[in-house]
Amino acid sequence: MPAQQSASSMADWNPPQVRPTAVGEYRAALEPLEAAPSSRRWWNGRWWSNPYHAHYEPEVIERIRQEPSVFSPFWQTLPH
């Protein structure tokens, strides 16, 4: 039963090899099943930023969004 729950949860995530079509903030994680709800990364259309959390100060978020990551995460579109 736990494997089915994990598989179902993973189905909600886009795999790293699939890139978003729009620039913006996404819920993202290297280990989706262990990801905090506030885990974020910025997709600038070419590369992912380093990770940050939604509750960080706006100045910190903006700085981190400029830092390219060497990792491609699993990701989800955030609700509008």
For the chain, the domain total comes to 1
Q: What is the pLDDT of residues 18-27, one digit of tens each?
A: 999 999 999 9
Q: What is the pLDDT of residues 43-66, one digit of tens each?
A: 999 999 999 999 999 999 999 999
Residue 67 lies in a domain: yes
| 24-30: Cβ within 8 A, 24+ apart | 25/78, 26/75, 26/76, 26/77, 26/78, 27/75, 27/76, 27/77, 27/78, 28/73, 28/74, 28/75, 28/76, 29/73, 29/74, 29/75, 30/71, 30/73, 30/74
3, part of any domain: no
Range of the domain at 69: 23-80
On whether residue 13 sits in a domain, the answer given is: no
In a domain, 12, yes or no: no
Q: Does residue 51 lie within any of the structural domains?
A: yes
Q: What is the pLDDT of residue 79?
A: 85
